[in-house]
Amino acid sequence: MIKSQLKERVDGCFKDGIVQGFWTSAAADKYTVEVPKHEGQGDFSTNLALVVAGMEKQNPKAVAAKLADMFSGEDDFVAKVEVAGPGFVNFFLRDRVWSSVLIPVHEQGEQFGLAAIGGRQKVMVEYVSANPTGPLSIGHGRNAILGDSIARLLEAVGYDVTREYYFNDAGRQMRVLGASTRARYLELLGLESDFPEDGYQGDYIYDIARNIIDELGDSLKDADVEVFRDRSQAAIFADINTTLDNMGVRFDSYFNEHTLYEKGLVDAVVDDLRTKDLIYEKDGATWFRTTEFGQEQDRVIIKSTGEPTYRLPDIAYHREKFRRGFTWMVNVFGADHIATVPDVMAGIRALGFDDSKVRVVLHQFVTITREGKQVKMSTRKATFITVDELLDEVGADVLRFFFLMRKADSQLEFDLDLAKKQSQENPVYYVQYAFARLCSIERQAREKGVEVPAGPASVSLDQLKEVEEYELLKVIGDYPALIAAAAEDLAPHRIIFYLMNMAGLFHSYYNKHKVISDDAELTAARLCFCHGLKTVFRNGLHVVGLNAPETM
């Protein structure tokens, strides 16, 4: 917010410099205004002089001096300008500039930080898309929270978002699921059964089999595997939906993989690639010439058994996404997809679509630690902690916060002991307690008969003079740009980092300075300040799906 205002002023000076013949327009849109990395270098700094000098063979310090001179007059925004280093121009803003950030916060309330930069463009975010073969694992949980938070951020900046779950209900794993359930069903009936060597071994398979017996008795003892597959799939997906709902994760649409086969869409992809001479047969398998699109080797898309590899239906599914009219698409995948993503992108290009409109977020694995030791897990043997178990232990807010505490491409260690603590050691508690404290300050003021100001217009913001107040005002001013950047980069973890930083600054401020005092003018200014902080905390928590509790 403040940064964009300064950037507009720098842009104006750049244009004036062109008119005065100091430089040409060559550097337009190539320079930046950023917060300096070190204290004492001003509130913001620009590399404009360095960029101009490099492009036009001028002395960077001389260019910087000309730019600084343009700000040398009386200015209600910039207090001081310095030329530093090889040609950076550092800006020191007036104190009142920082307190002015409270004005839009109070005026816009819950809308503060929202934007319309998306222009209502249609965007699909596909996430979770877990095979309905068992309960959601912690990896699926991270995927769900990432996808949901990305969708929320994109909506916050004005995109028309569709959340989609790709329902992978075709292929060998579903047959194995049906065979596993059939074997447990026969076993519970006391009949002979052969459990698949690579079958699903979790207790949930017994539960599904028991429910079938309770409903239908032994009437399915001679039924085909497909009957058990369908019943197992329905039961598991119902549980998945319940888990997602408990996490606060929702979807607008579901796309069933089997429809790709029923409608001939998978075969159509093969036919179209064959027409383009991008398909050939070798060793009984069907290969896609991915080397034509920069890959080191071609890929099998239909095995010698006649079964498609994952790449083929994924390519067909993405073609349908394009046909449905989305401007661009986001895929949230686990790191195990890293090998297939380039092949799907090659398929998109081969079919004549712009693969740059597909953005892929790959997240790393999650490990669980308890009492300092990693919990061993195996998905096939069902010796893993499910999302439901985590929800029971720590709750949805803690789960969501911890899953967003690291960048998607960083491995995440989920410390169960820390997650269960209700103290300021727990980062979720630390942030939410800051919001609750701000709510408490306003309650205390009203109990003491002190009026909470309606907005900045009724108070003297010049009373906000403490270093800690300026630090927090600067953080407030960063919020709109943070939301825009986090949405653009599909990086919800930045919101968590921001909230943790703001919470730390606020707790420090609270412990050092009294908000409500005998000084009525100072109290009014600080109550206005705290209300602004409360608004930003609430907005920041809500934009990634977290609650903002008023009491803790």
φ, ψ of residue 472 to 5 degrees: the values are -70, -35
Q: Strand locations in 284-365, DSSP E?
A: 285-288, 299-302, 328-334, 358-363
- Both 445 and 538 in one domain: the answer is yes
**According to the model, what pLDDT value does residue 169 have?**
76
Q: pLDDT band for position 378 (50/70/90)?
A: low
**According to the model, what pLDDT value does residue 202 have?**
85
Listed residues 93, 122, 149: the one ending a domain: 93
Query: Is 179 a domain residue?
Result: yes
Query: Is 69 a domain residue?
Result: yes
- The first and second tokens of residue 422, run together, are 């209700």
Q: pLDDT band for position 219 (50/70/90)?
A: very high
Q: What is the mean pLDDT of residues 63-82?
A: 87
Q: What is the mean pLDDT of residues 19-24?
A: 94
| Cβ proximity of 323 and 351 under 8 Å | no
Does pLDDT of 33 surpass 80? yes
Q: What is the mean pLDDT of residues 303-314?
A: 92
Closest-CA residue to 247 (of 150, 140, 129, 375): 140
C-alpha 168/C-alpha 322 separation (Å) is 19
Query: What count of residues does the chain have?
Result: 552
**According to the model, what pLDDT value does residue 201 have?**
86
| Cβ proximity of 334 and 360 under 8 Å | no
Query: Is 398 a domain residue?
Result: no
Query: Is 290 a domain residue?
Result: no
Higher pLDDT, 488 or 374: 488
pTM of the model: 0.91
Does pLDDT of 473 surpass 90? yes
| Cβ proximity of 3 and 481 under 8 Å | yes
Neighbours of 476 (CB within 10 A): 24
**According to the model, what pLDDT value does residue 73 have?**
65
Alpha helices for 20-112 (secondary structure H): 48-56, 60-70, 95-99, 102-108
C-alpha 503/C-alpha 493 separation (Å) is 15
Q: Position of tokens 């959340």?
A: 163
Residues 6+ apart with CB under 8 A from 480: 1, 112, 113, 115
Query: Is 99 a domain residue?
Result: no
> For 406-435, how does the pLDDT look when each residue is reduced to its tens digit (9 = 90+)?
999 999 999 999 999 989 999 999 999 999
Q: What is the mean pLDDT of residues 390-411?
A: 96
**According to the model, what pLDDT value does residue 76 have?**
83
Q: pLDDT band for position 393 (50/70/90)?
A: very high
User: 3-state DSSP call for residue 256?
Assistant: strand
Neighbours of 382 (CB within 10 A): 17
Residues 6+ apart with CB under 8 A from 202: 134, 135, 381, 382
User: Residue 247, class by beta-carbon neighbours within 10 Å (0-12 exposed, 13-18 middle, 19+ buried)?
Assistant: buried
Q: What is the mean pLDDT of residues 78-101?
A: 92
**According to the model, what pLDDT value does residue 96 have?**
86
- The first and second tokens of residue 489, run together, are 């980069």
Pairing of strands 412-415, 366-370: parallel
Q: Position of tokens 């949805």?
A: 396
Question: Domain tally for the chain?
Answer: 3
**Torsion angle defined by CA atoms of residues 17, 22, 23 and 24, in that order, rounded to the nearest 10 degrees:** 70
Residues 6+ apart with CB under 8 A from 92: 42, 43, 78, 79, 80, 81, 82
Higher pLDDT, 201 or 320: 320
Mean pLDDT (the chain, rounded): 94
Listed residues 58, 93, 128: the one ending a domain: 93
| Cβ proximity of 468 and 513 under 8 Å | yes
User: Residue 192, class by beta-carbon neighbours within 10 Å (0-12 exposed, 13-18 middle, 19+ buried)?
Assistant: exposed
- The first and second tokens of residue 90, run together, are 């550092």
Domain that holds residue 85: 2-93
**According to the model, what pLDDT value does residue 95 have?**
84
C-alpha 424/C-alpha 391 separation (Å) is 20
- The first and second tokens of residue 414, run together, are 């989920």
φ, ψ of residue 450 to 5 degrees: the values are -95, 125
Listed residues 238, 257, 273: the one ending a domain: 238
Question: How crowded is the C-beta side of 236, counted as CA atoms within 13 Å?
Answer: 28
Residues 6+ apart with CB under 8 A from 539: 110, 112, 113, 479
Does pLDDT of 377 surpass 70? no
Query: Is 435 a domain residue?
Result: yes
User: 3-state DSSP call for residue 444?
Assistant: helix
Q: What is the mean pLDDT of residues 525-547?
A: 97
Does pLDDT of 381 surpass 60? no
For position 23, which CATH number holds?
A: 3.30.1360.70
φ, ψ of residue 363 to 5 degrees: the values are -105, 145
C-alpha 200/C-alpha 303 separation (Å) is 24
C-alpha 541/C-alpha 552 separation (Å) is 15
Closest-CA residue to 91 (of 73, 74, 109, 71): 71
How many helices and strands (H and E) does the chain possess?
20, 15
| Cβ proximity of 17 and 23 under 8 Å | yes
C-alpha 100/C-alpha 98 separation (Å) is 5
Does pLDDT of 302 surpass 70? yes
Query: Is 160 a domain residue?
Result: no
Query: Is 71 a domain residue?
Result: yes
Does pLDDT of 306 surpass 60? yes
Q: Which of 159-163, 452-456, 525-529 has the lowest mean pLDDT?
A: 452-456
> For 253-268, how does the pLDDT look when each residue is reduced to its tens digit (9 = 90+)?
999 999 999 999 999 9
**According to the model, what pLDDT value does residue 454 have?**
85
**Torsion angle defined by CA atoms of residues 285, 288, 292 and 294, in that order, rounded to the nearest 10 degrees:** -100
Amino acid identity of residue 290, one-letter, is: T
Identify the DSSP state of 352: T
| Cβ proximity of 141 and 399 under 8 Å | yes
Pairing of strands 122-126, 88-93: unpaired
Does pLDDT of 74 surpass 70? no
Q: What is the mean pLDDT of residues 20-27?
A: 94
Q: Which of 47-51, 124-128, 166-170, 238-242 has the lowest mean pLDDT?
A: 166-170
C-alpha 143/C-alpha 361 separation (Å) is 10
For position 465, which CATH number holds?
A: 1.10.730.10
